[in-house]
Structure 1
Amino acid sequence: MIRDEEATPFYKQLRNKILEEIESGKLKHGDKLPSERELAEQFQISRMTARHTLSILEREGVVERRVGAGTFINQRKIEMDFVTFNSFTKNMLSKGLIPSTQILSIRKMEAHAHLAQKLKLPSGEVMTAIKRLRLVNETPISIEESFLPEKLCPRLDEIITENDSLYEILEREYGIVLVMAKEYMQVTVSDESESKLLKIRSESPCILQESVAFDKNEKEIEFSSSLTRSDIVKFYSELKLK
């Protein structure tokens, strides 16, 4: 029952209770929540309050409301941080998740102006571009394309496989150790082809990241662009006051 004597509004109490049941494992991904009417009767609140609570949880990505079917618990979001600089594979393994990769394409290209500016290269420099689909526990979460100067890693397109970490290959085969990166993020929506790969609806909200990775000599080595699903991934950072 929602407690009338508490200072916390009813909708917040109900929201917190649902989140606690998800955290404890009582409610799992795919479970159907009671209807607005059932929630109102169970917790002795108004249907308007129940509806408001479900709307908040939907905006937060905790639940999905399906017309004619009901409200269902979404998959718990995967945390990706801006605190440590790690490869995708190491990042996911550290969280107890199972990462995998599908190589979508590998091509040679000439650096266009934006790419040349990011990596401080002359326009027209020959680059190796590797486009990959990233999956966690067999669920696609992002599309990533990496660009590296061909002269720094010749024959990379012949060496890399779907089971390889790009950063481990750079270190093992070419002696290139990446130690830091600068990341830029913005909100965007997926187009039709991206949506098909990520198994989401067209024009779904996503996070677009652009990153430049540096070696120990502060030399720009890799530029990458990735499109990440916002419905199952969240980002966090740690900030300190100077």
Structure 2
Amino acid sequence: MKPKFISISESIIEKIKSGELQPGDKIPSENELIKNFKVSNTTARKSLLEIESKGWAQRIKGKGTFVLNRTEDHHILRTLGSIDSTRRGFNESLRAEGFNPKNIVLEKTILQHGISSEISGKHFIMEGPVLKIHQLRYADDTIIKDEVKYISLKLCPKINMMSTEISYFKVYEDKYRHKITDVKQTLSASILEPDSSDNNFDTSRRLPVFVLDSAVVSQPDKVLEIEKSYYRGDKYKFAIVANPEYKDEEMHHGKEPKKSHNLR
């Protein structure tokens, strides 16, 4: 008969293999395993160590244990509709998958005038002053995302003093106490020519890219952030959550929950 910790670890690994748990997802904690499987803390701890030792996950101190990216082609999977991934932010999500993230800031400046963006046929307008951040995002030594964000300094004063490696979504909620009511996004495809001024991926060939346009909105209909970014098409895959998470208070008050497709 198999030891209990082996049975538990195999059941979680099977969820990873089946795709129920995706790269970057957090696997059940030690306390959750104790509660769900009615086992001791020693058995729960050994289960997590077994999963990690087999290369399916890694522990990040103070954060938890996360599913590693084991895809043969090393594509990074991002899920539209995952609010947890959005809050975690770009760098933390990559670390959770076993990549070493790095950012290179090409531009960080304050624009006194406002900006606007059309997403899904709707205009989103952000009043000035606006913080513009243009940075290249790396996974290990490869540029995988060319990111441009515009953030309202009127709604988030002095956010320009913070590191560009933070999860801005989390900062909007935790530091500035904004209640995010909507995240509007469109994802399209394009080809960047090697000599194009828009191509910052350091490639000598034509490169397929995903183009993300998004707006983060808080109550009462204030635009916090506008983004336009390029994701390397040969490094990313995208999935869609059929049942997006909804805020508990919306369900408790009998409100019809809003659907948002969130991506980072």
When normalised by structure 1's length, the TM-score is 0.57
Contact 2:117 2:125 in 1 (8 A): no
Partner of 1:56: none
Deviation of 1:82 (Å)? 0.3
RMSD of the alignment, in Å?
3.1
Distance 1:119 1:177 in 2: 17
Partner of 2:57: none
Distance 2:181 2:96 in 1: 18
| Larger relative contact order, structure 1 or 2 (CA cutoff 8 Å, min sep 6) | 2
Contact 1:118 1:223 in 2 (8 A): no
The unaligned stretches of length 5 or more in structure 1 are 1-22, 24-73
Instruction: Flag the 1:90–1:177 CA change in 2: closer, same or farther, 3 A.
Output: farther
Which range moved further: 184-193 or 163-172?
Answer: 163-172
1:135 paired with 2:138, answer yes
Contact 1:119 1:221 in 2 (8 A): no
Which AA in structure 2 matches 1:204?
Answer: L
Partner of 1:208: 211
Contact 1:208 1:226 in 2 (8 A): yes
Which AA in structure 2 matches 1:119?
Answer: F
Q: 1:119 aligns with which of 124, 137, 153?
A: 124
Distance 2:130 2:162 in 1: 15
1:170 paired with 2:180, answer no
Contact 1:145 1:225 in 2 (8 A): yes
Instruction: Flag the 1:198–1:177 CA change in 2: closer, same or farther, 3 A.
Output: farther
Distance 1:178 1:140 in 2: 29
Partner of 1:83: 81
Q: Secondary structure at the match of 2:108?
A: strand
Deviation of 1:217 (Å)? 5.5
Deviation of 1:80 (Å)? 0.9
Deviation of 1:235 (Å)? 0.8
Instruction: Flag the 1:152–1:113 CA change in 2: closer, same or farther, 3 A.
Output: closer
The superposition leaves residues 158-198 of structure 1 with CA deviations (integer Å, 9 ceiling, x where unpaired) of x1224433334434543335465221011112253443x32
Contact 2:79 2:238 in 1 (8 A): yes
Instruction: Flag the 1:217–1:78 CA change in 2: closer, same or farther, 3 A.
Output: same
Superposed, which structure 2 residues align to 1:1-242 within 5 Å? 75-85=73-83, 86=86, 87-109=89-111, 110-114=113-117, 118-121=123-126, 125-157=128-160, 159-176=161-178, 178=180, 180-191=182-193, 192-195=196-199, 197-215=200-218, 219-239=222-242
Report % sequence identity.
Answer: 18
When normalised by structure 2's length, the TM-score is 0.53
Instruction: Flag the 1:151–1:218 CA change in 2: closer, same or farther, 3 A.
Output: closer
Distance 2:102 2:155 in 1: 26
Which range moved further: 113-122 or 87-96?
Answer: 113-122
The unaligned stretches of length 5 or more in structure 2 are 1-16, 18-71, 244-264
Instruction: Flag the 1:114–1:142 CA change in 2: closer, same or farther, 3 A.
Output: same
Distance 1:90 1:177 in 2: 22
Which AA in structure 1 matches 2:163?
Answer: T
Q: Secondary structure at the match of 2:117?
A: helix
Which AA in structure 2 matches 1:79?
Answer: L
Contact 1:160 1:166 in 2 (8 A): no
Q: Secondary structure at the match of 1:198?
A: coil
Larger radius of gyration: 1
